[in-house]
Structure 1
Amino acid sequence: MSKIAVFTNRYSALCDFFEADRFLIFERGADDWQLLNEIPFAPIPPLSAVLTRKNSEALLPLLNGCKVLAGGTLVGIPFFVFDRAGLHIFEISAITDEVFDEIFQEMQASDTAINAREAIISNARPKETGTPGIYFLDLIALQSECPEVSSKKAMADFLENTPFLELNLICRHIPPWIEDSGIYRIDVVQSGNGIVKAIVSRKC
């Protein structure tokens, strides 16, 4: 089941975090969101950075099982503490089923995008074409989508461990670690406008 913690004042009304003195824990039931628990805590006055951090961290065990923290304004050190703890933080204007449903729809969309990106990164390597032994990799497109993927991450394991005849490569430039290895033959078939199309094969 999905849970949301909402920080409120003693009247269970939305407020600035520094005015809050309780968490309302909501859980998604079969048909709607239900108030599962109300957890009081001592308000945290913004006195000093050290105390604010310490007091904010002391609240984390109260949020066990919740992935979402919602409420009024939450900034500064408390925001950093809760964000670092892995909570998804939302500023909301009302405590309603519709608001909670929107939060989880947004989270699901974000999770889908993250999973898709992770799949791209984990499968970042040349793909075999319809011709056995002939592989293709558009390094420009890959790094445009995932800049953190280096040419080595995308190709080093493939070049070392995959039997192949040719690798058709699209890139900005031939990676120096390939060009300087002395192991591969590189035939540039097209170059211009910052785009290089090359055929990489092992030297006999």
Structure 2
Amino acid sequence: MKIAVCVDRDGEPAALFKGQAVRLYQQSGDTWVLRREILLDLRADEGLAALKLALHTVWSRLEDCREVLLREVRGIGCVILQDDMGVRLWRSEGALAEQLDNVGRKIQETPRVEASGCGCGGRGRAPEASGQPDPAPDPEVVAPGHLRVDLAALLAADTRRNSRDLLAPLLEARAFERLDIVCEHLPRWFDSTLARLDLQADVQPEGAFLCARVVPVPAAAQGGCSRS
């Protein structure tokens, strides 16, 4: 079994954009042997194409390893790893040796299932991965007709969830006058779904996150949908 780990300068699990290197470990009996270490220099402000190229370059040297341990699973880099490269991400905090053992057990217990949409979250949690997610709670009712979903928190609470499963049923039902969605980034399928359903979104910063206010397109304007 092989696990790649994004590590900081102290050699402990790190978030993708805070990591100094990616280490590839292979299990040998009860120990984990370091096979190689690749320096990591990712910048959150570089363009999407450059970020994809950098990630593909690093992971092409990891001997087809598709299990990655990170301190945080959040942001566009995680979307690229999961959706474009088929990598399974494990979020965990703590000493590296202990977390390698924990994730190794989880890998053996959990069948590998291809992700359908982005499952990136944040806000810290013990190791988890694909399988049947826990049922998501109903959206918060802010006022009659006004709903709110903290997508970032829902994804962080259970890494087996993905944005499409959480949001698509709400959008399809259109049982709201306004739906606020708190997230780290909007899913790639979001705009096309809004256009198909005659919905539109105004996206504004909310602290470290984004808040997309989704409302029906006014009847007079239907036939075209744009995101502000």
Length-normalised TM-score, structure 1: 0.47
Length-normalised TM-score, structure 2: 0.43
Select the structure of larger CA radius of gyration: 1
* Structure richer in helix, relative to its length: 1
